[in-house]
Amino acid sequence: MQFKRLVKKQLGELLIERGIVTKAQLDKALQVQKEKGGLIGQILVVLGFTNEEEIAQALTVQYGFPYLPLENYELNKEIVKLIPENVARQYGLVAVDRIGDTITVSMSNPLNIKALEDIELLTKCKAQVFVSTLTGINNAIDKFYSKEKTK
């Protein structure tokens, strides 16, 4: 599974070009990434230079993944539960639909090939990917999985 960039620019370059972050902010985030590791988009959010939605939108421009704001989407409990909670939390994803042998998942990091391989293995379905914010995904996971713990 290899993802083809629609736009040849790095995420940071795209964010600068769109006026979301400055070169100085990107340089600071790259320094943090060099020291501590992590995804550049998440680092920019943690540093307060941008928000998750702007990162998700930039990923859609960069790779062509459709953006799905989960706050506005009605999820089906049976579909969500096709993926175990620990897997959903580990990879920051949630199942949003299933048609035949295709499962649609929304993820904060749509480039995580290991996550997609695991989902396909677990569900025996081909994975189709949408991009959502990690906050939106975590809210959905909390809503659909946490109720069982209180019963």
Q: How far apart are CA 74 and CA 8, in angstroms?
A: 34
Q: Is residue 4 part of a domain?
A: no
pTM: 0.79
Same domain, 131 and 87: yes
Residue 121 structural domain: 70-150
Band (51; pLDDT cuts 50, 70, 90): very high
Same domain, 56 and 78: no
Same domain, 142 and 97: yes
Q: Is residue 118 part of a domain?
A: yes
Mean pLDDT (the chain) is 89
Same domain, 75 and 48: no
For 68-119, write each residue's pLDDT tens digit. Answer: 999 888 999 999 999 999 999 999 999 999 999 999 999 988 888 999 999 9
Band (31; pLDDT cuts 50, 70, 90): very high
Q: Is residue 121 part of a domain?
A: yes
DSSP annotation of 4: P
Task: List phi, psi (to 5°) of 94.
Answer: -145, 140
3-state secondary structure of 19: coil
Q: Is the dihedral of CA 64, 94, 132, 29 positive or negative?
A: negative
Tokens (6 digits) for 102: 């295709």
For 117-137, write each residue's pLDDT tens digit. Answer: 999 999 999 999 999 999 999
The tally of domains found in the chain comes to 2
Q: Is residue 20 part of a domain?
A: yes
Q: Is residue 145 part of a domain?
A: yes
Same domain, 143 and 78: yes
CATH of the domain at 81: 3.30.300.160
Band (150; pLDDT cuts 50, 70, 90): very low
